Amino acid sequence: MSGKRFFTPLRWFTLGLLGVGAIAAGIIAYMNSDGDETPVSPAIAGLYGQDVPTSSLPEKLLPGMILLTPHQLALIPLVDGFQSPCGTASGGFTYDAQPFNTLNSNRGGHHSGSDINGIGGEDSDLGMAVHAAARGLVVYCGEPSPAWGNVVILAHRLPNDSRIIQTLYAHLDKSIVRQGQFISRGEPIGTVGTAHGNYKAHLHFEAISSYCTEAGQPAYHQGGTMNRLNPQKLLASYPAPAVPDPYETVRRLRVREAAMQQPSAPAAPLPDGAIPVNPTQFL
C-alpha cells in the first residue's frame, strides 16, 4: 500500500481532531492546577491521608503508639462490669496513694492513673496479686522501659455503647499472661512490683480511651491527662456483679470439652488368630 493511499483526507481529519483534543485537555489541566498538587479525597487517601491540618491535632503523636488491628478489635470481649485490680473486688485492704489527676510537681504534671497500695504502705504489698479489672483481651505484655517495669494492657468493650477502652497495669514484679490471651474479670495477671526498685511497691493503674496500645507513653502531661480516664470513676460507673465472671466458667468448660474430643490413642493390634469381641454384648 502506498503512502498516498494510506493518508486519506478522512484519516488526516481524524488525526487532527485527536491532536486538538489532547492540546485542549492539557490547557484545562494546567489552568486548574494553579501550580499546586490536587488534594486527595479522604475516601481515597485512607486512614493516614486525611486532609486535616497539623495544627488541628490535639497532641503530637508519640512513637510507640501501635494501632490495634481490625482482628484485635473484633476479638475484644464485652465486659459485665469492673472490679478493683488489687485487694478484694471492692478494693478492700488497699488505698489510692496518688489519685487520678493529682498534681505532682516533682514529676512535672498531673497523675494519669491511680497508685494502688496495700494498707501496710511502703513495700508491704510487694508480690500482692494483681487481677484483671474486667474481662478483656491482652493487647500488650512487656517492659517498655526500666522506669515502667513490667506492663500489661487489657482492651475491653463497654456495655451499652460498645466503646473500646483499655486498662493498664504497670510496675509489675512479674506478669503471668501473654499477648492475645483472653482474660476473665478477677483473673490474676501478675504481681505488684517496684519497677526495678525505682519506686516503693505499688500498682500504677490507668484507664485509657484509645485504639492504640500506649505502653511506655509518658504518664504525666503538662497539658492535662489527655485521653486518660479516671479509673475509680470507671469502676463506679460499671460495677461488677457480686459473682465470679461467668466467662471464666464457660471458657473452662470449652477447654475441657475440647480435651475430651481429642482422638484417643489407637488400640494395640490383636495377635494372630484372636477374635475381636465387643464387651457391651455381655451387659
Confidence of residue 230 (pLDDT cuts 50, 70, 90): very high
- Alpha-carbon distance of 78 to 86, in angstroms, equals 22
d(CA 236, CA 43): 40
Per-residue confidence (pLDDT) for residue 171, from 0 to 100: 95
- 86 pLDDT exceeds 50? yes
Mean pLDDT of the residues in the chain:
78
The CB-based long-range contact list for 269-272 (8 Å cut-off, 24+ gap) reads none
For residues 235-256, average pLDDT: 84
Angstrom distance (rounded) from CA 205 to CA 219? 11
What DSSP assignment string belongs to 125-183? TTT-EEE-SSSEEEEEEE-S-TTT-EEEEEEEE-TTT--EEEEEEEEEEEE---TT-EE
In this prediction, residue 250 has a pLDDT band, given cuts at 50, 70 and 90, of: confident
Q: Which domains does the chain have, with CATH numbers?
A: 77-237 (2.70.70.10)
pLDDT at 186 over 70: yes
- Ranked by mean pLDDT, which of 13-27, 32-46, 222-236 comes out on top? 222-236
| Residues whose CB is less than 8 angstroms from the CB of residue 83 and which lie 6 or more positions away in sequence, other chains included | 89, 90, 131, 133, 134, 185, 186, 235, 239, 240
Main-chain dihedrals φ then ψ at residue 99, nearest 5 degrees: -65, 165
How would you class 262 by CB atoms within 10 Å of its CB: exposed for 0-12, middle for 13-18, buried for 19 or more?
Answer: exposed
Strand partners, 183: 136
Q: Longest C-alpha distance within the chain, in Å? A: 106
Nearest to 79 by CA among 133, 135, 154, 139: 135
pTM score of the predicted model: 0.69
Q: Give the Cα separation of 141 and 136 in Å (integer).
A: 13
Report pLDDT digits (tens) over 109-165. 788 899 999 998 889 999 999 999 999 999 999 998 888 999 999 999 999 888 999
pLDDT at 37 over 50: no
